[in-house]
Structure 1
Amino acid sequence: MDKIKQRLAFIYENENIETIYDAIVKRLNEAKAKNLRERKQNWDESDVVLITYGDQFSEEGIPTLDTFKKMFDGYLANKFEIVHILPFYPYSSDDGFSVIDYKKVNPIIGDWTNVENLSKSARIMFDYVCNHISAKSEWFQEYLKGNPEYSNYFTEMDPSIDLSSVTRPRALPLLSKFKLANGEEKYIWTTFSDDQIDLNFKNPQVLLDMIDVLLFYLEQGAEYVRLDAVGYMWKEVGTSCIHLEKTHEIVKLFRDLLDEAAKGTVMITETNVPHLDNISYFGSGSDEAHMVYQFPLPPLVLYSLHNENGNYLTNWAKQLDGAGQDSTFFNFLASHDGIGLNPIRGIIPEEEILSLVNDLKEEGALVNYKKNSDGSESPYEINVTYLDALNKQSYSDDLRVKRFVLAHSILLTFPGVPAIYIQSMLGSRNDYKGVERTGMNRSINRQKYILEEIEKELNNQETLRHKVFKELTNIIRVRKEEALFHPNAKMEVLELGDKIFALKRVKDSESLVVLHNLSNDEVQVNLFGKFINIITGAVEEFKEGISLNPYQFLWLKPTN
């Protein structure tokens, strides 16, 4: 508790922090008095995350979260221990990330009883959209009405002030103009859109209200908490307004509260930024995020398969520091957002990134751009399903499956906790009708399904969806049963040629070698000995090296 007081003194240098501290302690004790459910302490090889929307599957007249539970119990429960439900609160835009009310469940999805029912099948990750709130929210609407209670909840800014040093994630205005009820016009800080109003954490009451929300989520059963767009929380004119010291201190404060209220709750920071900035949210390794997103992995794997060359992936992985025993990486290939490009700037030359973007655009991908400080624009995100990103339109389904499952072999064998997006599990292609309907590029990878229709496709052995689902199911099963895939087991990256991405996982005196042929050619690997192929269970001896077929991967454990 002394730590919490010290953090408050750092965040609010000139404030009387006793009142703030007392309010936090009171709310924390209320949460602890509710005897929150016991959490799993730490993570292991069995932990695989499913990323999904709460209204992903529907049946007429049934709350979609109940329909999701039916789908999950029937098809997914033996594959995924944790379900990340993307924001399931009432919202006004951005498919949930402009939250109208943090403490309510979107009525289409159900209510808190439906969330509780799902938590009986899996541990649940909640989204904590802590940087901004919907323009339609009560907080912002009361601000517009002139309610003095909310007068300092948002950041007003004179538009003549030079804000050119502020990091911009999107090619949209940083300030948005609003008219108050008295006719006065104000320019308000909106990092992402004019419907996503940044909260002003310089106001201690905002911090107290958001701590109340955080602890409320624990009371409702959240065992994982994802801090969305957390890097932008603190603003200081004249700085980049991202990753500031006080932002980190607030994140550490959130971690202290989680550990105090419900030890074992996992906090994940979402910061789609270059690698060194991203891993700064580990803090000392035990005082900030438990997990950070492994943002370079999706574009690096995509680049490697697109170019049939794993050099950049190998070199990056070789230099990747372990996260330590008290923290780990949250690995993924696809998510509800596009494939971010900023995390590989500095790893892959810009001209090669632009070449990748152009190639994918020719195959039907869409692209979002960000505005640079000099007024130019750069692509920051490729919008496409990961299945279509990896494959040309002319490819056969069999080739699509090979390349796609190979990519997921990298995901499932890499150090950290792997997460698979529902569209990947379902073998989804680009949803252009969704883009046309919403006008948003990101809708290309956010298709929703009628339960009966998607079940029919999954159960038809001739469909691409069935083939992808079957192959991913198999390697997920093997990963979950192999102790050498513990998130914190050591990784050694092997250099076996441009077309190979290879690694060794090591724990105690045991090891396991993973080989990936990134090319459409047969490749010879100079690796010898007798191994158990843990996917097939067969014992194989390689006296003259290993010959890998196009896009073949092997998980090999030495027999001795």
Structure 2
Amino acid sequence: MDPLWYQDAVIYQLHVRSFFDANDDGYGDFEGLRQKLPYLEALGVDTLWLMPFFQSPLRDDGYDIADYYRILPVHGSLEDFRRFLDEARGRGMRVIVELVLNHTSSDHPWFQEARRPGSPMRDFYVWSDTPEKYQGVRVIFQDFEPSNWTYDPVAGAYYWHRFYHHQPDLNWDNPEVERAMHQVMFFWADLGVDGFRLDAIPYLYEREGTSCENLPETIAAVKRLRKALDERYGPGKVLLAEANMWPEETLPYFGEGDGVHMAYNFPLMPRIFLALRREDRGPIEAMLRETEGIPETAQWALFLRNHDELTLEKVTEEEREFLWEVYAPDPRFRLNLGIRRRLMPLLGGDRRRYELLHALLFTLKGSPVLYYGDEIGMGDNPFLGDRNGVRTPMQWSADRNAGFSRAPYHRLYLPPVSEGPYSYQFVNVEAQGENPHSLLNFVRRFLVLRRQHARVFGRGGLRLLPVANRRILAYLREYGEERVLVVANLSRYTQAFDLPLEGEVSLVPVELFSQSPFPPVEGRYRLSLGPHGFALFALRPREEVERLHLPDWAEEAPQRVPAVPLAGGVEGLFIDTLAEEGARAAFLQALAGALRERSWLALKPKEVELLDALRLQKDPPLYLTLLRLEDAQGEAQEVFLPIAFRPEGEGPGLFAGVRGGGGHFFELSQDPGFYSLLLRRLAQGFEGRSLRAHYRGRHRGPVPEGLELLHPGLAAGEGVWLQVGLVQDGGLERTESLLPRLGLPWALGAQGGLYWERGERRRVLALSGALPPGRPQEAFALAEGLALEGLLRLRGHAPDGGARGLLAEALRELEALARLLGVRLALLHRALREAEGEGVGVPLLNRGLGAFLALEGEVYLLALGRGERGSPLKDLARLAYDLERALYLAAEREEGLEAWVDPAADFLEEALLQAYRETSQEGWPEEGFPEAMRLLAERQRWREERPSRLRVLERWQART
């Protein structure tokens, strides 16, 4: 079973008493509910939330429980419940029941016993000799209760209640109360229910001088409840919190993934109605932002209406007054701080608004909750008192008693709606089932669609699109490679608008209901929607759509690389004042696709933003660009990247062409020619000006005929090295300022560079310096070569008891390199402590062996990491990782070497750590090294899909 099933769930809320009466006594029962399971299955819901069905005097619709372990006789027996549960499970449905933790009925034996003076049950409830305690705590049911205290003449004391006076609050400061409620939960979970709705959860504890809501003790109790549930049953059973609070008060109930699994999104619900009436998406967007940040395993429960009033507790006074005025101008429809109306009457019977709200309910982030009868647009009866007007019998047919029961009308628990446009003669399941255009069939079709895209709607991210037209709400739902665009018109008039889809260039919107392809995205995308209209589009690659459709716009043959629709010169891609927006969006999208394959990047960009550009060469055009990259998780990184436009279509870094021919685009991180050109321009003394900044550069030293590319970002030639800061993480700034101050002869300070300057802001884009004579080599390439030589010496031998001696002989050069690196790292840490002071942070050597250059038997340090000071564990793990990966890469080249990789890796890591310890002479938590290696290996595996990285990760996963 998927332990996160609730993230994809579609929940149907019902009262057993209201749904279907199988024994004709006027009350719905479990046997009736069991008989109607085929209807619910066909509707498309997969989770049932049952309102209270326990023994109760029914003064608060069953939330006043008199016995947690007994079923109210009118609902049936425990055996009836088991039969219903078994059939629901057989149909793939899960069941959530109520867990009323805050209070009981005053008829509960616990309370009756607690009333007696001196009773051991006294401490199960909250008592006081005076009603003066907890002054200032709000009264929730203002229309019915004058105070939170009620005097009991038998007890001779006041008891505390946050709701009705017949619902005394339990005393959660008494550990016996908590144990008793855990036992209630275990009883129903043992029977097989899948989750619990935690009713009125914010009010468990009371403390003087507080609001007695959302206290830290309450949050801790919820976490203990979760822990008890997980320990007894493992993952899969769910806690759903009813916490009608402001967002910042609701979020703590999730904890760090150790609180409730779900909570109702009370802050969002009234703002949906507010946005609809104001015809402005602002209230929805504001609450979506306020309710972000829940744990990855948590989920919101979304709803439009339920069994209570449309609560307006957690809105501002101005918002409440507006909502009352537009949705409940008749005071009879107002209750407490809300509106007691069902969904369809609340909307004035407007089908378009009904469909629009359901489109939001089914596509916003969260699991939707449907209230029984809303799928057919049932009405209400506000004259029944309290909230009974929205709890009338389910309307199955135009037959007697709406097909709910064959009992005499006067014996029904409540009368069905029988007058006006919502009468059961007009609004019922039977009639709507036969009408393909009914509300019922609309909801069924939508839930089929949602089930087809369950992961993206249930677990995907949500990205709001900044449409200029405020009447339009548009957002992207994204999960893995799947993207769904949702567009909604909150206005009662037709609207035209442009969608900012520059990041989705070349994708084809396919309308989900009809599966009809629309023209492909080429930048900003123009659409129009009718009054209260909505549309859902899957954004799919053009090639995938063209395999299934032949639309009239599919005229061009697929190209080997993405095509940019460039009408003018290439300056239209780089210079803002000359920009061709559509072409630039396509260009950046193609660049993002190429950069996702670059191993020197620590993230896989989903979007690329051009921050600045400067032309370095006119013919053929070559631009220096500063880019902002953002991945699917929202992590961002800035890079400095040279980009060229050339007529030919071959070469390293090719990533796009021009539609219709005429040239190709290359990113030059792997082009040695660019590094040579840049060095020559720096040697001439370089100055340039973009729209945003000055570029200044110099190089004092030799300029060889050409440079050899050692790895992306590092090139060297006879007597010179050049680093280009492809990743703008501050590492080059620190390298330039700090390395010369360390006084280490093997640390090569910079003597020139390229700089970006805007006011007082300055970035180092490249550094250059001098090298001793000889042919330079990257330290990682050296390690890989030594690893291959050493492993070849071991081929034919078995790694048995004498392996250590064989390793010492075969890997002596590589062992010497490992020991040298350990010594150099210890000296580096010591020098940095003297220069900067103590501190730990990200690694100093986040480039690993790529920070070192080997030359004529010596190893030189060229680069430091970004500004935070590094920790020994992280730096040692980074060097050990590269040494180990060099062994795996060597083993991939020749057969028969694999068995020696693990022993060789252990041998080299021991040499590295020992050399560091002996030189440093300072203790460090060596036991944390395996975990540091595992974490590093996980990050590196995510960066680049290579067998060697996978094998290092598997090795350290096994070790930890």
Do Structure 1 and Structure 2 share a fold, with TM-score over 0.5?
yes
Structure 2 counterparts to residues 439-454 of structure 1, below 5 A:
439-440=385-386, 442-449=387-394, 451=396, 453=399, 454=402
For the structure 1 residues 542 and 302, does the alpha-carbon distance in structure 2 shift closer, same or farther, using more than 3 Å as the test? farther
For the structure 1 residues 557 and 160, does the alpha-carbon distance in structure 2 shift closer, same or farther, using more than 3 Å as the test? closer
Structure 2 counterparts to residues 236-385 of structure 1, below 5 A:
236-263=207-234, 264-284=236-256, 286-345=257-316, 350-362=317-329, 366-369=333-336, 380-385=337-342
Alignment correspondent of 1:202: 173
Letter in 2 for 1:381: G
Q: Which of the numbers 168, 171, 175 marks the counterpart of 2:149?
A: 175
Structure 2 counterparts to residues 16-55 of structure 1, below 5 A:
40-43=2-5, 46-55=8-17
Deviates more, 1:153-162 or 1:267-276: 153-162
Conserved 8 A contact 2:433-2:441: no
For the structure 1 residues 153 and 491, does the alpha-carbon distance in structure 2 shift closer, same or farther, using more than 3 Å as the test? same
Conserved 8 A contact 2:268-2:288: no
Alignment correspondent of 1:102: 68
Alignment correspondent of 1:526: 498
TM-score (norm 2): 0.49
SS at match of 2:104: strand
Letter in 1 for 2:373: Q
The two structures, once aligned, show a CA RMSD in angstroms of 2.4
Deviation at 1:540, TM superposition (A): 2.3
For the structure 1 residues 484 and 546, does the alpha-carbon distance in structure 2 shift closer, same or farther, using more than 3 Å as the test? farther
Deviation at 1:273, TM superposition (A): 1.2
1:82 maps onto 2:32 in alignment: no
Q: Which of the numbers 483, 500, 506 marks the counterpart of 1:511?
A: 483
Conserved 8 A contact 2:347-2:354: yes
Conserved 8 A contact 1:306-1:390: no
Deviation at 1:289, TM superposition (A): 0.7
For the structure 1 residues 210 and 352, does the alpha-carbon distance in structure 2 shift closer, same or farther, using more than 3 Å as the test? closer
For the structure 1 residues 450 and 494, does the alpha-carbon distance in structure 2 shift closer, same or farther, using more than 3 Å as the test? closer
Letter in 2 for 1:445: V
Deviation at 1:415, TM superposition (A): 1.2
Deviation at 1:426, TM superposition (A): 3.0
Conserved 8 A contact 2:254-2:295: no
Conserved 8 A contact 2:343-2:377: no
Deviation at 1:44, TM superposition (A): 6.3
For the structure 1 residues 75 and 292, does the alpha-carbon distance in structure 2 shift closer, same or farther, using more than 3 Å as the test? closer
SS at match of 1:218: helix
Deviation at 1:113, TM superposition (A): 2.0
Alignment correspondent of 1:422: 372
SS at match of 1:362: coil
Deviation at 1:495, TM superposition (A): 2.3
Deviates more, 1:528-537 or 1:238-247: 528-537
1:389 maps onto 2:346 in alignment: yes
CA distance in 2, matches of 1:414, 1:351: 26
Deviation at 1:77, TM superposition (A): 4.7
Deviation at 1:47, TM superposition (A): 1.5
Deviation at 1:155, TM superposition (A): 0.7
Deviation at 1:161, TM superposition (A): 2.5
SS at match of 1:343: coil
Deviates more, 1:56-65 or 1:100-109: 56-65
Alignment correspondent of 2:452: 481
Deviation at 1:295, TM superposition (A): 0.6
For the structure 1 residues 486 and 86, does the alpha-carbon distance in structure 2 shift closer, same or farther, using more than 3 Å as the test? same
Alignment correspondent of 2:534: 553
Q: Which of the numbers 106, 116, 119 marks the counterpart of 1:135?
A: 106
CA distance in 1, matches of 2:140, 2:432: 42
Q: Which of the numbers 130, 150, 154 marks the counterpart of 2:125?
A: 154
Deviates more, 1:61-70 or 1:264-273: 61-70
SS at match of 1:206: helix
For the structure 1 residues 493 and 411, does the alpha-carbon distance in structure 2 shift closer, same or farther, using more than 3 Å as the test? same
Quick one: higher RCO (CA 8 Å, sep 6+), 1 or 2?
A: 1
Conserved 8 A contact 1:415-1:485: no
**Paired residue total:** 492
Conserved 8 A contact 2:396-2:429: no
- Of all paired residues, the percent bearing the same amino acid is 23
CA distance in 1, matches of 2:433, 2:35: 24
Alignment correspondent of 2:845: none
CA distance in 1, matches of 2:182, 2:6: 29
Structure 1: gaps (5+ residues): 1-38, 370-379, 392-396
Alignment correspondent of 1:403: 353
Conserved 8 A contact 2:487-2:534: yes
Deviation at 1:342, TM superposition (A): 2.5
SS at match of 2:431: coil
CA distance in 2, matches of 1:503, 1:344: 24
Deviation at 1:486, TM superposition (A): 4.1
CA distance in 2, matches of 1:363, 1:556: 40
TM-score (norm 1): 0.83
Deviation at 1:364, TM superposition (A): 7.3
Structure 2: gaps (5+ residues): 404-424, 502-506, 542-960
For the structure 1 residues 222 and 465, does the alpha-carbon distance in structure 2 shift closer, same or farther, using more than 3 Å as the test? farther
Conserved 8 A contact 1:334-1:385: yes
Deviation at 1:132, TM superposition (A): 0.1
